Structure 1
Amino acid sequence: MSIRPVLETRPAQPTMEGAGVHLHRAFGFHDPSELDPFLLFDDFRNDDPARYAKGFPWHPHRGIETITYVLEGAVAHGDSLGNTGTLGAGDVQWMTAGSGILHQEMPRGNAQGQMHGFQLWANLPASLKMTAPRYQDVTSPDIPEIIDDDGTRVRVIVGEFWGRRGPVDGIAADPQYLDISVPPGVRKTFRVDTYRRSFAYVFAGSGAFADASQPTGVLLEKEVAGQELHLRDPSGDRTLVRFGTGDEVTVQAGEDGVRFLLISGAPLQEPVAWHGPIVMNTQDELRQAMRELRDGSFIK
């Protein structure tokens, strides 16, 4: 067994998308090979409806899959194929845009006005760029939750973990998507397939990932003259942790415990031509998509 080293940690950056949704972006629109097959990850969390209520009005997607995971509030969605629905707290939607789709996503707060969720973009291989669009909507009760003897909780959204399989299937990236909560002071190790790219996104509490060589934005532990040195970054949560090669990820939970997403997927290692919500393999394919958007032939 080999622990995956921490290659990099960085705080998610505040940005604005849609019609004025304030969110934090952990990665996206930079180097698509960094976390191949994943392209973008956003954390939309706010308790002021004025900063999210206008949502993400009608926009296109082609060549990717989007994974939306809601923790608080709800997201109403609709698309050009006539699909409509609402994701509530704990629900997941995996949308395969494939050959093309127009859709909108409109966040709503809970009774206290709080809205919190995540969206991950996964690339599609060239062979599936123009596949038929489809949705997988999964309600919270259908997502397996495992509670270990030490109190560690794992929601298995996609993939197999500790003998349980998540309800979302048939995904090109063959990912593993876990929502993990580790109690205060508990040290825990999680298996990750050696051949997958992997990252963690810490969004509550604090923790230290083994082999970190710099502050993780949560809690850093390292040996100094035989003693542990603890450093807490004032940015707290909303921290991306990018791992190197290995088959285990080890975390030491801080005094308040730690909650994070652990996500991995098989890299595609294909060329990427990317403009906004459309991701193809060549510039010619990208130009064709833009022409089709203009002439009304985008939806197949």
Structure 2
Amino acid sequence: MSLRPTLETRRAQPTMEGAGVKLHRAFGFQDPSELDPFLLFDDFRGETPGDYSAGFPWHPHRGIETITYVLGGAVDHADSLGNSGTLGAGSVQWMTAGSGILHQEMPKGNAKGQMHGFQLWANLPSSLKMTAPRYQDIHAPDIPEVVDDDGTRVKVITGEFWGKRGPVDGIAADPQYLDVFVPAGVKKTFRVDTYRRAFAYVFEGAGAFADASGPQGVLLEKEVAGQEVNIRDLSGNRTLVRFGTGDEVTVQAGPEGIRFLLISGAPINEPVAWHGPIVMNTREELTQAFAELRNDTFIRPAH
């Protein structure tokens, strides 16, 4: 076994998207090869409706898949195929835009006016860029959760982990998408396929991801077992952790435990031509897509 080194940790940056939704972007609209096949990751959470109620009105997508995971509140959605519904807390929607779709997503708060969710964009290979659009809506009770003896809990959204398989299937990037909680003071190692790009996104608590090049994880374990933890050594709320190659990721939970998404996928290794919500392989394909938007031929008829 080989430990994946931590290539980089960085905080998600505040930005505004849609019609005025306040969110934090962990990555996106930069170097698409960095986390290939993943293109963008947004953390949208708000304490009051003014942070999110403007939502994401009707907009197009082509050439990608979008994965929406709702932790709190809800998201109403509708699309040009005639689908509509509500994603409640703990639910996941995996949308394959393929040849093109128009949709909208409108967040709603819980009883206290709070909402929280994530959206991840995954690229499609050239052979599937123009595939027929489809949706997979997965409700919270259908997402398996495994619990280890030390209190570690893992929700398996897609892929296989600890003998459980996530309910989302048929995804081009063949990803593993896990929602992980590690209790305070526990050190835990997770297997990740060597040939996948991988990242973690911390959204509750804090911890240290051990680096093969240094003793940080071991030192932190001793500190947790004792009295003090050097908070500066911990990756906390809204932190992206990008890993190098290897087949294991090790995390040492801080004094409040740590909750994070652990996501990996097989790189596509193809050229990327990207503008806004449309991601193709060439500038010519991108130009054609926007021309079709202008002349109302963007949505292909169902076969």
TM-score over 0.5 for the pair: yes
Percent identity (aligned): 78
Give the letter aligned to residue 126 of structure 2.
A
Structure 2 residue 230 is matched with structure 1 residue 231: yes
State the partner residue of 1:47.
47
The answer (yes or no) to whether the contact 1:11–1:235 under 8 Å persists in 2 is no
Q: Which runs of 5+ in 2 are unaligned?
A: none
Cα deviation for residue 236 of structure 1 reads: 3.5
Residues in 1 aligned to 2:213 and 2:148: alpha-carbon distance in whole angstroms: 29
Change over 3 Å in CA distance of 1:22–1:227 after alignment to 2: closer
Residues in 2 aligned to 1:162 and 1:129: alpha-carbon distance in whole angstroms: 32
Residues in 1 aligned to 2:200 and 2:139: alpha-carbon distance in whole angstroms: 23
List aligned pairs for 1:233-248, cutoff 5 A. 233=232, 236-248=236-248
Q: What root-mean-square deviation, in Å, do the aligned CA atoms of Structure 1 and Structure 2 show? A: 1.8
Give the letter aligned to residue 101 of structure 1.
I
Residues in 1 aligned to 2:71 and 2:219: alpha-carbon distance in whole angstroms: 36
TM-score (norm 2): 0.94
Query: SS where residue 34 of structure 1 aligns?
Result: coil
Please give the per-residue CA displacement for 1:4-24, whole angstroms capped at 9, x wherever unaligned: 000000000000000000000
Change over 3 Å in CA distance of 1:10–1:108 after alignment to 2: same
Residues in 2 aligned to 1:120 and 1:212: alpha-carbon distance in whole angstroms: 28
Structure 2 residue 95 is matched with structure 1 residue 108: no
Cα deviation for residue 163 of structure 1 reads: 0.6
Cα deviation for residue 41 of structure 1 reads: 0.1
Residues in 2 aligned to 1:93 and 1:22: alpha-carbon distance in whole angstroms: 21
Change over 3 Å in CA distance of 1:112–1:248 after alignment to 2: same
The answer (yes or no) to whether the contact 1:9–1:242 under 8 Å persists in 2 is yes
State the partner residue of 2:78.
78
Residues in 1 aligned to 2:24 and 2:217: alpha-carbon distance in whole angstroms: 26
**Alignment size in residue pairs:** 294
Residues in 2 aligned to 1:257 and 1:143: alpha-carbon distance in whole angstroms: 22
Give the letter aligned to residue 173 of structure 1.
A
Residues in 2 aligned to 1:160 and 1:221: alpha-carbon distance in whole angstroms: 26
Give the letter aligned to residue 164 of structure 1.
K
Give the letter aligned to residue 296 of structure 2.
G
State the partner residue of 2:169.
169
Cα deviation for residue 230 of structure 1 reads: 4.4
Cα deviation for residue 232 of structure 1 reads: 1.9
Query: SS where residue 230 of structure 2 aligns?
Result: strand
Cα deviation for residue 223 of structure 1 reads: 4.7
TM-score (norm 1): 0.95
Query: SS where residue 66 of structure 1 aligns?
Result: strand
Greater share of residues in strand: 1
